[in-house]
Amino acid sequence: MVDNHEFTRMMDTSDEWIRSHTGIQTRYIADGESAWELGLGAAEDAMRGSSIRPQEVGMVICSTSSPDYFTPSTASIIAGKLGVKDAICFDLNAACSGGLFGMDVASLYIGSGRVKYALLVAAEKVSKFLDYTDRSTCVLFGDGAGAVVFGPSERGGIISTYLAGDNTGYDMLVAPVNAPPTPFETKKPPALIENENAYLRMAGKGVYKFAVRAGAEAIDEVLKKAGRKVDDVRWFVPHQANLRIIDSISERYGLNKDRVFVSIDKNANTSSSSILIAIDQLNKNGQLRDGDLLLMLVFGAGLTYGAMLYEWRECNDQDQVM
């Protein structure tokens, strides 16, 4: 775990500035672990929490914008390590929206009868793309992974989904294919670089405006499709990108803080894994009850965005895992 004080040794910033501008206090940064290793740990945890055996899994999807290899897919590596055989395996990149996009893809395959059980993993090692001399980006992100096992259900589950993209903003948030090791891996101070394209770059104000606008659109559309109202929602689970964005959207819909899940203070922005990590934390904290309606919201580079309305229910045997 890396707290804000670590960044004061690398650049002109402070704990107070980072907290006031982002809501972030700490984040996890991988120290030598690869993205697939982070994903494998989350996948093993998800499989242990289900009653599904590896040989029953017919699909493995890995949402990642920070893979270790062009090929093979991160999903194939994780499947191989888990002992999953004869399964459809592929990676999905929708940036920070990828976790929700992956959930939708998995549900469509299960709904069509192509597979019975699907494992979705979101594994992100964003730290390798960050310029640790640029406080406008490097303080925002953390590494992390989440996973979930999907199966058929007679009730509950996904009620409605709305996915979209504003592709005119593809250049607002860009990360390179390769970047040098982070100072947390080398144990050396960050060095100034001449090539500004070597690390993640973001038009912060533009992304903020997009997230607030697109977030409202996605919420309105997903509720409309389901014939539900905001008052029906027990938990608003937004992508953990910036506390100001979360607060702005929550206030717009009159959502009290006890209905809004926030973990950005401890985890920072873990890209596509943030939604799955959030659901896992809600579950492990005992905050989810059978029949709770969850409204999940995502937005990310591309620009991608979307929302999902989901009815939580307790699992019994193998009738539904999520």
Q: What residues contact 266, with CB distance under 8 A and at least 6 apart?
A: 25, 26, 27
pLDDT at position 196, please?
56
CATH code where residue 57 lies: 3.40.47.10
pLDDT in tens, 85-140: 999 999 999 999 999 999 999 999 999 999 999 999 999 999 999 989 888 999 99
- Of 140-144, 177-181, 262-266, minimum mean pLDDT range: 177-181
Q: Is it the case that residue 194 has pLDDT exceeding 90?
A: no
Catalytic, 269? Answer yes
pLDDT at 176: 78
Q: What is the pLDDT of residues 8-57, one digit of tens each?
A: 988 999 999 999 999 999 999 998 899 999 999 999 999 998 989 999 99
* DSSP of 257-295: GGGB---HHHH-B-GGGHHHHHHHHHHHTT---TT-EEE
For residue 96, indicate whether it is catalytic: yes
pLDDT for res 318: 39
Q: Single out the residue of 236, 196, 214 nearest to residue 301, CA to CA.
A: 214
CA distance 229 to 270: 29
85 CB burial (10 A radius; 0-12, 13-18, 19+): exposed
Greater confidence (180 vs 208) lies with: 208
More confident residue, 250 or 318: 250
Catalytic option among 93, 239, 242, 315: 239
Give the domain extent around 210: 1-322
Q: Reply yes or no: is the peptide bond before residue 108 cis, omega within 30 of 0.
A: no
The lowest-confidence range among 115-129, 133-147, 275-289, 304-318 is 304-318
- In total, how many domains does the chain have? 1
Give the dihedral sign, CA 307/69/190/170: negative
Mean pLDDT of 70-96: 97
pLDDT at 179 over 90: no
Q: Which of 96, 138, 242, 315 is catalytic?
A: 96
Mean pLDDT (the chain) is 92
Separation between Cα atoms, residue 272 and residue 121, nearest integer Å: 10
Q: Is 21 a catalytic residue?
A: no
Q: Are 133 and 11 in contact (CB under 8 A)?
A: yes
Q: What is the pLDDT of residue 117?
A: 97
What per-residue confidence (pLDDT) applies to 154? 81
One-letter identity of residue 250: S
What mean pLDDT do residues 188-199 have?
61
Residue of 275, 197, 190, 186 lying closest to 239 (CA atoms): 275
